Each structure stands twice: as C-alpha cells, then as structure tokens.
Structure 1
Amino acid sequence: MSDTVIRVENLGKKYIIGHQQQEGYTALRDVIANGAKSLFTTLNPLIQKSKNEANKSREEFWALKDVSFEIKQGDRVGIIGRNGAGKSTLLKIVSRITEPTTGRISIKGRVASLLEVGTGFHPELTGRENIYLNGAILGMSKAEIKKKFDEIVDFAEVEKFLDTPVKRYSSGMYVRLAFAVAAHLEPEILIVDEVLAVGDTQFQKKCLGKMQNVASEGRTVIFVSHQMAAINNLCSSCIMLQKAELIFDGKTEYAIQKYLKSGIEIQDNSKGNLQAFRPSWAKDLITSARLLDLNGKEQSSFPLGSDITFEMTFATEDVTKLKAPVMGVVINHATFGTIGGVNTRMTGFEPDNGSYASATMRCTLKQTSFLQGDYTVDIWLGDGPIDVDTLTGYLSFRIEETDVYGTGRTPFADLGVIFLEPTWKVIPH
C-alpha cells in the first residue's frame, strides 16, 4: 500500500481578470442598458467586432501552471516562493476550498487548514462554540472534541475570553485559537499558511514546536512561510513556486539556496527603483545606499572578518532640513533572521552640524564576525526620535568561506551566524 497522502498531477488554476473601462458605480439603468446591448449584439452579427473589442477588457490569468508533485505520510514540506508565485492558490486547492482548472489532485486522510485569520470560524459564535464547530467540520465526533478541549484552550491561552464572540477577538487571539483547533484535533494532514506571522515571537515558536510534534507522530505538515529560519527548522523538504510554476522539489537546504539566489537577482534588477524597497509610510528622502570595503570600493561579497561600511545618502526639499539626522542599520541572515542592528542615536553619535538638507552618512563595522552565508540589510533614516525613511532589504551581501583557523577547515555555517574564536586548555588529572 502506497504511503503517498497527496498526489498532484499537472495542476493548473485559471482566473479571469476584468479590467474596468470607466470609473464610477453601476446603476440599475446601466444594468438594463448593458443587457439590451448584449441581446442586440447576439442577434446582430454585424456588430460582432464591437463584441470582440469588449472582450479585451477580460484577461486570463494563470495562478498555477502544470504543477506536479507527491507528498508522503509524515513529511514536513515547506512551500516557498515570492509574493504572487501561487502558494496560496495551491493551498486552497489542496484544502478543497477551490477547484483546479486543469489536472487532478488526490488526497488520502483528513485535512486541517489554517490559511488566513479566522478560517472556518463564525464571528458571531463564541470561542467555545467555534471549537466544536471546527471540530465538526473536520469530521470529529463531539466526544473526540471534548477530549481535546482543555488542551486546545490551554494552548491558545484564551480561557478568559472563551465565552466571548470571536468577532471581538484581536487578530492574535483569533490565530492562537484557530491554530490550536487545527493542530490538536488530530488531522492526518495539517496545512499552515503565513498566517502565523500575525502572532508574537513566543507564540510562533510554540506553533513550530507543535508542528514538529505533529510530524513526529506520523502526520503530514505543509507549511508556507517567507521566514527561511522557520522553514529550515521545521521542514525536511521544500517545494518552490515561481510565476505560477514549480521550479524545485527537493531538500530544504537546496530550496532555500535557490530562493535566496532568486531574491538577489530580483534585488539586482530592481536596484534603480528605491520605491520597491520602501514601505508606504516612508518619505522619499534616501537617494542611494551602498556597501563599501576597507578601501571605499563598492562590494557585495566579503571575506570573513572584513570591515564593512554601510553608506546612505539623503536629500530633503530646499525649505526643510533634518534637525538631527539618525542613521540605522539592521542586518538579517537569510536563514536565521535578524542578527543585529545599530544606529547613531543608540551609540551616542551626534552629527557636527545642527541640521542638514542633504548628507552622506556612513557606518563601519570593524572585523565583522559573520559566518559565511547570505545577508540583507535594512537602512533607515530618522529625524531625532522619528523614523522618516527606510529601505528594507535593498542591500545584500555574501560572506565568503574563509579558512580563519588556518586548518583548511571552514566553520559550519548551519550552526549559527557568528564566528567564534576560542582558546583551549587540557588539565591533566
């Protein structure tokens, strides 16, 4: 008997996108007029050309194209890819929320899905009632739900609000209860989307631990996340989607490398567009950012132990100046997440001049101890205590493998991100 629990064959999903030709609302008279036009067009072939022109406002969009893979019982599979790659569409098809346009999918076992905040919850029902409702949807008997009830409530930490309608819950409370129900009612297949990003760090760790326990019991876990550290810690294999197509299916280590490489390529292609790395609240003040080596030369790759300079140039309008410009640098490891940050205000550095309409600011980190691997940098600009602009992940660099110990062996990058230089001693007895 096969241990394959999910088999996807040549899966495709097509949507029709309507492009609005004019602004404004649709009144009843418009509906009647459009209906009459449609009938007239059907009866009169002479204006078929006009009908064809109207069809140009409808566009086919393939969210998934020819995707095939298998997942076996007990696998912990990560699904990764950039925004718009097709991850959520794939999960909705696997969860039986939507039907594929082409191909087929076969699933063996009960599926519990957590795809967005409040999935499967009724807002008017209390937390207690929604636990029983969700359990019933998953095919659990009332006795089975009751057996797990206390464990679910304890995990979700919502006992105080158990008899409150969930429409009054915060997004964090919603997610905690939804995940607790999905994970504790013993589905054969547990599907968790990026929704865990809503919870705090402690809860995310708690959820990852629970998913590891679920997998150790022989059940299957499918996990979608943009956090490579979480994917690396939980998943033994990964599926990578790019522009609606499956481009990799294999070991997590190689999938993450491919994902990071694609991200660096996207960054390189977008370097001329600072706005792509700027959140909606930020002002357009940072005009450039660079990484420099010890000699002031722009670089994207450094040996372990190098000095690295982070440079930021800003310019304001002629009539405005920054009274107290602050530069901040946050360094993120591609797999392990944020590893450190520093800013001028934190370290007590004060610019000489009182205010600046434009300037170049530099931060140099001496003899960096980052291990080999890929890193991204967030550069931000403040005016005193107020953040005014930031470029998130605009800069990226790689630390090369380096024989720092002089033994011909490089440190193990999967053990962390910081190079350690020990002294050893043996005390004979």
Structure 2
Amino acid sequence: MSDVILKAENISKQYRLGTVGTGTLSHDLNRWWHQLRGKEDPYTKVGAVNDRSQKATEDYVWAIKDISFEVKRGEVLGIIGKNGAGKSTLLKILSRVTGPTTGSIKTRGRIASLLEVGTGFHPELTGRENVFLNGAILGMTKAEVNEKLEEIISFSGCEMYIDTPVKRYSSGMRVRLAFAVAAHLEPEILVIDEVLAVGDAEFQKKAIGKMQDISQGQGRTVLFVSHNMESIQQLCTRCLVLENGTSVFEGEVDKAISFYLDKSKTENNIELPFKVNGISILEYKIKDFLNNKSSGLLLGKGFEIFLKLKNISRQDFHLNIRFQIFNEKEKLITTFNTFHVNKTTILESNATKIFDCKILKNQISAGSYSVGIQLLDLNNRSILFENENWDNIEIDNGDFYNTGKLPSIKNKGIFSMDYEWIIN
C-alpha cells in the first residue's frame, strides 16, 4: 500500500474581486451556457496573479494556482510564504472548508483543522460542550470523545473554565482548547494555521512537542503554516514555499527557509573581483542564520557579512572595514567597524585577508535595507572605497524575544532591544 496519505493535483482557487454579488448573475448564466454546450468555464482562462501589492486590472484573481504536492504518512509539511501568498486558502481547500476551482485532492483518513482562533466553537456553549461539538464535527462518536475528555481538558490547561461559555475565554484559551481537541481526537491528518502564535511560549512548546509525538510516535501527518521560522525548522520534515499563489519551492526545511527569506530580493550587480585604489574585492556575501548565502534575514537571528580582499598595490594599508545599514529613506541605521572593536589590520602588499563580520542577534526590524561598504586607510585617513548602496537586504519578522510571539509590524519601530521587566 502506498505511503502517500494526501495528494493535491493542480489545485487552483479563483475569487471575484470587488463588491460581493456585483454582476454574478450574468457570470453564472455565462458559465451555465458554456457548461450546457460542453465548453470550458470561460472564467478559468482569466484572472490576475495573486500579487496584493499590485492594482487590480481584472475582475478575477487566482488566490492559488496549479499547486501540486504529496504528503506521506508521518510527515510534517511546513507551508511558508508572505502574507497573501495563498497559505490559508490552500489549507481551507485541504480541510474541505471551501472547494477548489480546478484540481483534485485525494486523502486517506480523517482531517482535523485548526485554521483560526476558535474554529468550530460556539461562543454560547461551554468549553466542555464545545469539545463534544468539535468531536462530532471531526466524525467522532460521543463515546470516543468521552474516552479522551479528561486528557483534552488537562492538556489545554483550561480546567477552571471548562464549564464556562467560550465567549468569556481569551483568544489564547480558545487556541489551547481547540488545539487540545484537534490533537487528541486522533485524526490521520492535522492541519494547523498560524493560530499557535496567539498562545504563550509555554503552550507553544507543549503544542510543538505534541505535534512531534503525533507525527513521529503515532505516525500521523501534520500540515503546519507559520511565520515563525524557528518553529518550522524545529517541527517540519519538509517544506513548501508559496509566492503570489503559486508553489515556488518544495524540499528540505533549511533550504526552503533560505529560499523564502531570499526570494524576490535584488542582488547587487557589481561584478567581482572589483578593483579600486590598490584593493581588489575578491569575494562578498551575506550569510543567514543557517549559514547559507542569502539577502533575506530574520529578526532575532544572527547573520554574517563576508568580505575577501587582496592588496594589489606596492604599499601596505592599515585598514578599517566599515559595513553600514541604511533604511529605505537612506537614513543610516547602524554601522559595523573593525576600528570600534580594535580589529584593524595591516594588509600588506600582495596579501589576501578575509573579513567576516558576525552579527550575533539581528535587532533591526522587518523591512528593506541597503548595505554600504567603506574601506579606509588609517595611515593617511583616506577613503579607498565607499559605496552606500553596495547590496540590498530584506529582513523578515522573527521571534526576537523567544516567547513565540512576533513583534508587531504595525508598531515595529526601527529596531528591537533585549530588556527585562521587574514587577513588584
């Protein structure tokens, strides 16, 4: 028997833009007329690419387009991508919440979904009653739910409020109970969207441990969407990267994360070796926290700026290397100098040296930035080379405080800082 438990073939989902209901009767009649004559749906041939940053030029948009993949029993498939890339739409289709416009999905076994905070919960019912309601939705009998009830309540940590209406729960409590139900009612496939970000660090650790137990210990399959790359790296065995509604990468987790962070970033157009004022820049690259060459970085994770120089002149240089980070308004954010940390060096004639600046924890907030380079000769205080727009980097949001909660994009500021609260 094949080990494949879920197979998606050419999944696409089309939505109509604009006010809901406008012009749908004429479109439905047109579809019916084409169907009556055995013709293809005329609206599957049209539709804009799902790029939310562009102005709409058509009436329809493909939220996802021609996505195909297979998931084997016991695998944990991570699905990552920018906001609006189509991740949630794909999960809703896989969970049968909505149907695909084109394509087919084949699954073997029961699917449990946790797509939004309180999915499938009735606010007027108590936590206990909602456990039974969720179990019924997932196809469980009352006896099966009863068998797992105490374990579910204990795992959720909501014992005190279990007989209180869910409308009085916080969003974190709803997630705790919803995850406990979905994870303990033994689905063959567990589908989880970004909801775990609502929970605290303790519960996230507990939930990830449970998902690992579900996949590794019990041989069940998990589909996991998150913007927290640390959770993706810790939990997933394989990864799918979505961009503008299409699948652009599928493979190993570390490679997928690097691809996702680096995707759509502009590379510097400077050809190496680059020779200027007796110095040859032989090699330059930025490496992310996974030690891969990338111009996409993560808040809270380390990165490196690597530079290899050769002195092609007849004189020695007493070098200070300065890397600079500028924001989109060309304002200097920070610098990294060899001079500041007493690491200046003599680069002798015809000698080659490597300068590797290791940033232990990136504090710069999510956004687009440019990297500048200065090469200064301290012998005569002269600038051998200066370029404030040498390279471009994109910083993505990350779990800076290791609490499982991503800093607010809306109120991000320029950088994050480590700090401590003392409350008496």
TM over 0.5: yes
Question: SS at the partner of 2:17?
Answer: strand
**Partner Cα separation in structure 2 for residue 85 and residue 112 of structure 1:** 23
Residues 1:67 and 1:307: Cα distance change in structure 2 (over 3 Å) = closer
**Which has the larger share of helix?**
1
Shift of 1:262: 2.1
Shift of 1:310: 9.0
Asked if structure 2 preserves the Cα contact closer than 8 Å seen for 1:293 and 1:307, the reply is no
Q: Residue type matched to 1:242 in 2?
A: E
In 2, the alpha carbon distance for the partners of 1:335 and 1:88 equals 19
- Would the aligned equivalents of 1:237 and 1:249 in 2 still touch at CA under 8 Å? yes
Cα distance in structure 2, aligned partners of 1:183 and 1:141: 16
Deviations 1:210-247 (A, max 9, x none): 00000021100111111111001100100110111101
Q: Which amino acid aligns with 1:4?
A: V
Where does residue 244 of structure 1 map in the other structure?
Answer: 245
1:106: Cα distance to partner? 1.1
What are the within-5 Å matches in structure 2 for residues 274-423 of structure 1?
A: 287-294=331-338, 303=356, 337-338=399-400, 390-391=413-414
Distance 1:199 1:308, change over 3 A: closer
Give how far 1:5 is off: 1.1
Larger CA deviation: 255-264 vs 119-128: 255-264
What is the CA distance between 1:183 and its match in structure 2? Answer: 0.4
Q: Which residue of 2 aligns with 1:151?
A: 151
Q: 1:226 to 1:240 in 2, by over 3 A?
A: same
What RMSD in Å do the two structures reach over aligned CA positions? 3.9
Alignment partners' CA distance in 2, 1:336 and 1:389: 12
**Who is 1:207 aligned against?**
207
SS of the equivalent of 1:391 reads: coil
What is the CA distance between 1:263 and its match in structure 2?
7.1
Distance 1:130 1:240, change over 3 A: same
Q: Contact 2:327/2:333 (CA < 8 Å) preserved in 1?
A: no
The DSSP-based 3-state class of the residue aligned with 2:173 is helix
Residues of 2 paired with 1:272 and 1:61: CA distance? 33
Letter in 1 for 2:100: P
Question: Following superposition of structure 1 onto structure 2, how do residues 129-278 of structure 1 map, counting pairs within 5 Å?
Answer: 129-216=129-216, 217-262=218-263, 265=266, 273=328
Match of 1:77, SS state, is strand
**Aligned ranges 1:50-129 → 2 under 5 Å:** 59-129=59-129
Partner of 2:307: none
In structure 2, how many angstroms separate the alpha carbons of the residues matched to 1:10 and 1:108? 18
> CA separation of 1:205/1:334 partners in 2, compared to 1, >3 Å: closer, same or farther?
farther
CA distance in 1, matches of 2:4, 2:142: 29
Contact 1:290–1:311 (CA<8 Å) still a contact in 2?
A: no
Q: Distance in 1 between matches of 2:206 and 2:197?
A: 13
Structure 1 residues 24-63: aligned runs within 5 Å: 59-63=59-63
Question: Partners in 2 of 1:265 and 1:295 — Cα distance?
Answer: 30
Match of 1:414 in 2: none
Cα distance in 2, alignment partners of residues 309 and 130 from structure 1: 42
1:63-105 Cα distance to aligned partner (Å, 9 max, x none): 1011111011111110011111100000000000011111111
Task: Name the CA distance, whole Å, in 2 between partners of 1:136 and 1:307.
Answer: 49
Alpha-carbon distance between aligned partners in 2 of 1:61 and 1:90, rounded to the nearest angstrom: 15
Distance 1:77 1:311, change over 3 A: closer
Give me the TM-score of the superposition, normalised by structure 2.
0.59
Cα distance change on mapping 1:119 and 1:303 into 2, 3 Å: same
CA contact (8 A) 2:242 2:248 kept: yes
Contact 1:19 1:58 in 2 (8 A): no
Look up the match of 2:312. Answer: none
Contact kept, 8 Å, 2:241 with 2:250, in 1: the verdict is yes
CA gap of 1:82–1:214, structure 2 versus 1, over 3 A, is same
1:295–1:168 distance in 2 versus 1, CA, 3 Å: same
Kindly state the Cα deviation for residue 260 of structure 1 after the two structures are TM-superposed.
1.8
After TM superposition, give the deviation of residue 57 of structure 1 in Å: 8.8
Secondary structure of 1:61's aligned partner = strand
Write the deviation string for residues 254-286 of structure 1: whole angstroms up to 9, x where unpaired: 111111212755989xx7646xxxxxxxxxxx9
CA distance in 1, matches of 2:57, 2:85: 24
CA pair 288-94 structure 1, distance change in 2 beyond 3 A: same
Q: Which amino acid aligns with 1:391?
A: I
1: distance between equivalents of 2:362 and 2:77? 38
- How many residue pairs match? The answer is 284
> Whole-Å Cα distance in 2 between the matches of residues 335 and 57 of structure 1?
30
Give 1:287 deviation, angstroms: 4.8
Runs of 4+ in 1 over 6 A off after TM superposition: 306-312, 333-336
The structural deviation recorded for 1:392 is: 5.4
Q: Structure 1 counterpart of 2:249, which letter?
A: F
Distance change in 2, residues 1:228/1:335 (3 Å): farther
Q: Which amino acid aligns with 1:257?
A: S
> Contact (CA 8 Å) 1:14, 1:64: kept in 2 or not?
yes
CA contact (8 A) 2:364 2:415 kept: no
Paired residue secondary structure (1:338): coil
Would the aligned equivalents of 2:238 and 2:251 in 1 still touch at CA under 8 Å?
yes
Partner Cα distance (1:141, 1:310) in 2: 50
Q: Tell me if structure 2 keeps the 8 A contact 1:78–1:235.
A: yes
Change (3 A) 1:291 1:90: farther
